[in-house]
Amino acid sequence: MEHYIAAIDVGTTGAKAMIIGTDGSVAGQGYREYGAAYPRPGWVEQDSEEIVEKTFDACRRAVEAAAVDPSQLACASFSCQRSTFGFLDDEMRMIDRRLYGWQDQRAAETIDETAGRIDPGELYRISGMPVSPPFAIHKLVWVLKNDPDTYRRARWIVHLGDYVSYRFGAGELRAELTAACTLGLVDFAARGWSDRILTATGIDRAKLPPLVESGARIGSVSAAAAARSGLPEGLPLIAGSGDQQCAAIGAGVVSDGMASLTLGTSGFLVAGARSLDLSKTAGLMAPLSPAFGICELEANQLGAASAYRWARDVLAETECAHAEDTGTDAYRLMDIRAEQSPPGSNGVVFLPHLTGSGYPNWDPDARGVFAGLTFSSTKNDLLRAVMEGITLEAKDMYETMRESGVSIRSLAITGGATKSRLWRQIIADMFATEVKVLAVADATLVGAAIIGAVGAGLFADVREGAREMVHISHTVPPIPENAETYRRLHRVYREVYASLRGGAFRQLSSL
């Protein structure tokens, strides 16, 4: 009998679910978008109940679209946006329904205080997480200082993915280990909560749920969740992983030297490594991987394709209106415009730091910039420059990783942006390497399904699951003349950023 896994991804801007066969085929999918609140500049919050309800709804849509016999479903497994967290009270209710989003930058004002409690180098060597506002540890220090009443009322500090799985029917609140790494509170080597970090920051270990390994069974779909999600009551629930760890597995990153580039709401370049020396990888995220036997190094873009969504909303109102009238895709119409601008966007360079800069700069003061504008610059140039700017930031990550000694011998691409034929070519040209295009672009869900299948006993391990479920549709070779253009453009990109870092960016962020 063919088996299927319900893979559920609780992302930054929406929830997506897929019913995926053990051969990697997609039987059905569902998606529901949700938003975020920005109560102050740099703050990013989300409504926990909206996310739970939209996740249930996305799952129901996937189940209905798949029309699979419930007896063929082996389990449900989860992927989640990482380092987004909230506080549960004694009644297991999210306090103020507030989630602190990973994009939230409020902790920029308390980073120095954290550094005063524990040396940043020591913090990185223990946790594998850079010292930067996106990571929950720093926002927890901010809450302790600025909102102690919320912290006092909290029974649990809960990662979003763990909360959603609890609402689906996990028997007790548990924290999945590999995703929990990105909170900045886990001892990488010991695979547990770090007493050293918790003591230094004043975070109460008793407020942190017990950790479980990726692939562990954590409960069964409850009657209430079954009624809302369409999944059968009693279906096993499997602890998955963070979205980028899942995406890497779904892109086949299960051995040393393999890498994937995800351009979605955020951007990640993930490389598998047999072992890690954290003294040589400063600035890179180094969470544990569900693919046992390898570690992960991750370079992080904070904005990535979110900047292209911004461009859609701000620069492409005409295309959005036409798309709504005709039932077409606004992004496809934007591609058609961008294709009319040559590589290099006629000299326009875009810095995509709309929510600060991630690796290798980790600069919360960085801001988005169009440079090189002239009277001859067109909307076509601006749209292409945004695509190129996002890819230039990814290129910067790629080159800096290689300069630090990380080996990358194979690159697969995934994420919403890579559905664009133009953008796929820009990536191949920018990186001057052949890139692999996945048969199922939603690698995050494929990865979650692989972990679920291992947890359900359908595969011996993640590597076997990847062999059976990850498929490449085609490859995209670079165009040599375009690669040379982008090599020069990358130098300009670095110089523009360097000229603004510190003084100008700091003054802009203070306005």
Which CATH number do you get for residue 343? 3.30.420.40
Domain that holds residue 401: 306-405+479-510
Run of H or E including 381: helix 379-403
Residue 379 pLDDT: 97
User: 158: which residues sit within 8 A by CB, 6+ positions away?
Assistant: 85, 86, 87, 88, 94, 166, 173, 175, 209
Does 20 map to a domain? no
Tokens (6 digits) for 171 = 């028997």
Residue 147 pLDDT: 97
Residue 306 pLDDT: 87
460-487, pLDDT tens digit by residue? 999 999 999 999 999 999 999 999 999 9
Does 275 map to a domain? no
- Ranges of residues in the chain with a pLDDT under 50 are none
Q: Across the chain, what does the average pLDDT equal?
A: 93
Length of the chain (residues): 511
Does 145 map to a domain? no
Residue 219 pLDDT: 97
Cα–Cα distance measured from residue 68 to residue 87, given in angstroms and rounded to the nearest whole number: 37
Does 378 map to a domain? yes
Does 459 map to a domain? no
How many angstroms separate the most distant Cα atoms in the chain? 64
Q: What is the pTM (predicted TM-score) of this model? A: 0.86
Q: How many domains does the chain have?
A: 1
446: number of Cβ within 10 Å: 32
Alpha-helix runs per DSSP H in 103-221: 111-117, 120-127, 136-146, 148-153, 160-168, 177-180, 195-201
Does 204 map to a domain? no
Does 359 map to a domain? yes
Does 414 map to a domain? no
